[in-house]
């Protein structure tokens, strides 16, 4: 009876799929790489190259003098060749958490270093993923992004800006440091990290509940009704809370599947967010609570987003490598590809 009730809930709460392929949105699909400790991320890209439009390789981080540090295994010639032969756009990511490089003293030096790297490697552009800056850097970040946009556009290159998710300006400093009103216009692609609603340092909970995602996108739409340059962040990973307490550890579905199969565990989900989780205690093992991405949860969320935000430009995926293989099928069923 319980299983029958659950199936009925799914039947009547999941948005109905489009009846024709032409009804599906033209969403661009990008992947951050590497974005999982599990193996298989590179293979996932090649196996789904027909669906993926863009790769954002984490290959750089700022140096204290404004130059760029090339990370280990970066600028991989074999990977670049494979991606380009598959027709993928290559826009590597620069990850940073030290704000000095966007200040007045180093800003121009940093911009020049980025542009020189893009030209040297013949990338299609660059993705800026600068996280956790103090709110006092809000103006500096705008000036940096505006200057970098001008410099890249002069070379016919693209600028992507990755930002923290938020539903207003009155939240933590890292999000307040990012002025969406002034950052959206100079960016060609605007990625919002709509995951980690419950992060690893909090008590167990959904990683990306749809109601929150819709609120974040609504806030972006209030700033610019045309969301064509906006990419919604999608998580392919899970979090496991040992004994139900923080901090959680990041887990791939491949490991979660072993738990489910080995101990005959039932996947649960709340009707309001449909995100999969397991809460179990096996004799001899401590309790674990695991929230993770699965096809039902992803399909439910994408259906809602399709209905409410038809101008959305696409999705950016975090956590490839060891992911549930059917997640890719759900994406195929919900979009026609980038235009």
pLDDT of residue 171: 78
Is residue 123 situated within a structural domain? yes
The whole-angstrom distance between residue 180's C-alpha and the CA centroid of its chain comes to: 17
Structural domain including 222 reads 23-236+295-334
Is residue 263 situated within a structural domain? no
186: domain CATH number is 3.20.20.80
Rounded to whole angstroms, the Cα distance separating 64 from 68 reads 9
Is residue 339 situated within a structural domain? no
Is residue 255 situated within a structural domain? no
pLDDT of residue 336: 85
pLDDT of residue 21: 52
- The more confidently predicted of residues 301 and 282 is 301
Predicted model pTM? 0.93
Is residue 165 situated within a structural domain? yes
Structural domain total, the chain: 1
pLDDT, tens only, 6-19: 433 443 344 444 43
241-272 in b/e form (b: 16+ CB < 10 A) is: beeeeeebeebbbbebeebbeeeebeeebeee
- Asked if pLDDT for residue 125 goes beyond 90, the answer is yes
Rounded to whole angstroms, the Cα distance separating 298 from 72 reads 33
Strand ranges (DSSP E) for 156-247? 158-164, 189-193, 230-235, 238-242
- Asked if pLDDT for residue 129 goes beyond 70, the answer is yes
Is residue 115 situated within a structural domain? yes
Is residue 67 situated within a structural domain? yes
Is residue 9 situated within a structural domain? no
Query: Closest Cα to residue 190, out of 55, 27, 35, 314?
Result: 314
| Cβ-based neighbour number of residue 84 at 10 Å | 14
pLDDT of residue 101: 98
Rounded to whole angstroms, the Cα distance separating 198 from 196 reads 5
């Amino acid at each position: 009876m319980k299983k029958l009730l659950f199936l009925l809930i799914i039947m009547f709460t999941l948005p109905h799929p489009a009846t024709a392929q032409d009804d599906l949105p033209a969403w661009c699909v990008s992947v951050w790489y590497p974005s999982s400790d599990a193996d298989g991320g590179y293979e996932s890209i090649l196996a789904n190259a027909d669906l993926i439009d863009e790769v954002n390789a984490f290959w750089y981080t700022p140096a204290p003098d404004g130059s760029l540090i090339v990370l280990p295994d970066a600028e991989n010639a074999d990977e670049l060749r494979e991606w380009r032969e598959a027709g993928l756009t290559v826009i590597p990511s620069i990850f940073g958490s030290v704000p000095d490089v966007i200040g007045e003293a180093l800003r121009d030096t940093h911009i020049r270093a980025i542009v020189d790297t893009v030209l040297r490697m013949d990338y299609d552009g660059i993705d800026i993923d600068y996280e956790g800056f103090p709110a006092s850097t809000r103006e500096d970040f705008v000036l940096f992004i505006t200057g970098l946009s001008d410099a890249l556009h002069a070379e016919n290159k693209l600028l992507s800006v990755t930002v923290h998710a938020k539903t207003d300006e009155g939240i933590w400093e890292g999000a307040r440091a990012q002025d969406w009103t002034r950052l959206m216009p100079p960016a060609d692609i605007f990625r919002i990290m709509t995951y980690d609603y419950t992060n690893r340092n909090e008590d167990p909970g959904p990683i990306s509940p749809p109601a929150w995602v819709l609120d974040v996108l609504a806030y972006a739409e209030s700033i610019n009704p045309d969301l064509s340059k906006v990419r919604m962040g999608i998580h392919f990973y899970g979090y496991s809370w040992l004994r139900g307490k923080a901090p959680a550890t990041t887990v791939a579905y491949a490991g979660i599947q072993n738990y489910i199969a080995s101990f005959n565990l039932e996947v649960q989900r709340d009707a309001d967010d449909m995100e999969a989780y397991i809460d179990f205690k096996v004799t001899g093992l401590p309790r674990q609570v695991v929230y993770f991405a699965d096809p039902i949860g992803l399909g439910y969320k994408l259906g809602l987003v399709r209905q409410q935000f038809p101008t959305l430009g696409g999705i950016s995926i975090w956590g490839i490598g060891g992911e549930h293989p059917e997640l890719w099928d759900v994406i195929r069923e919900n979009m026609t590809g980038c235009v």
